[in-house]
Amino acid sequence: MEKLQKIIEEIIKEEKLIYSVFSNLKNKNKNGSYYWVYAIISPEYDEDNFIIGYSAIRQDITAQKEIEELNKNINIKDINLENNIYKKQNNIKLDLSAIAKGYTTELVGKYLEDNNIHSYIINAGGNVKVGKAYKKEYYKVGIADPLNPSDIFIKLNINNKSVVTSGDYQRYCTMDNINYNHIINPNTKYPSNYMHSVSVVSSSSSLADIYSTYLFLLPVEEGQLIVDNTDDIEAIWYIDENNIVKS
């Protein structure tokens, strides 16, 4: 903190402050690590409006700066696919977790149907695809209760459909008694907490996987508008045990 105080004093000296100054300041701890503070430096006046000193208000913004650093290389324009060749720039990394399982499940289903196997159940963990029910009217697919995952809160009767669920109850970490799930909003750089889960029903497992992730990041009202205006998808939002919304 001594170095930080010196930085503030230097700003005061160089700027000869008359008005308040806002600044992000980087400082070094004794252990060698760095931290950031957002500082507001303001002059103090006496009753005759003469400056008699300065005060500084500081807020630790280290976590915010760390997130900004981690999210430097997220520009989709740095990824290019030409003639089935994947090219990237600026050390960008591609995470396919929002689509890979759904896409793979869809391929497996197509393979079965291409080989005249039309009655099947594929359970890929959160991604379920079924063909035509065998010797019955339909398959029953249960959706786990996010607040008690060993229980089912709803059963769906489906044929030739996929059901994909995105939620906050399986992949998460807890810090300071707050749960942080694994689905990150690209705008805020933090997980969204509008619901505990959303399940999407579609004839395409790929499409259901994409939209379940997308809808999880949006307020329910915005998600409903998207579902209402998109062919081949329906959705069930589990906000809490007393608030379950269906499209």
**In Å, how far from its chain's centre is CA 168?**
10
pLDDT of 9: 55
User: Which residues of the chain fall short of a pLDDT of 50?
Assistant: 1, 15-18
pLDDT of 142: 94
Question: SS3 string of 190-219?
Answer: CECCCCCEEEEEECCHHHHHHHHHHHHCCC
What's the pLDDT tens digit per position in 1-60?
Answer: 455 556 555 555 554 444 556 677 777 778 888 778 888 877 777 787 777 777 777 788
pLDDT of 3: 54
pLDDT of 200: 97
Question: Which amino acid belongs to residue 70?
Answer: L
| Phi-psi label, residue 114: left if phi above 0, alpha if psi -120 to 50, beta otherwise | alpha
pLDDT of 208: 95
User: Tell me, what DSSP letter sits at residue 177?
Assistant: T
pTM of the model: 0.73
Task: Kindly list the distances between the CA atom of residue 230 and the CA atoms of 100, 156, 211, 212, 233, in Å, as whole numbers in the listed order.
Answer: 21, 20, 10, 13, 7
239 closest CA partner among 168, 187, 163: 168
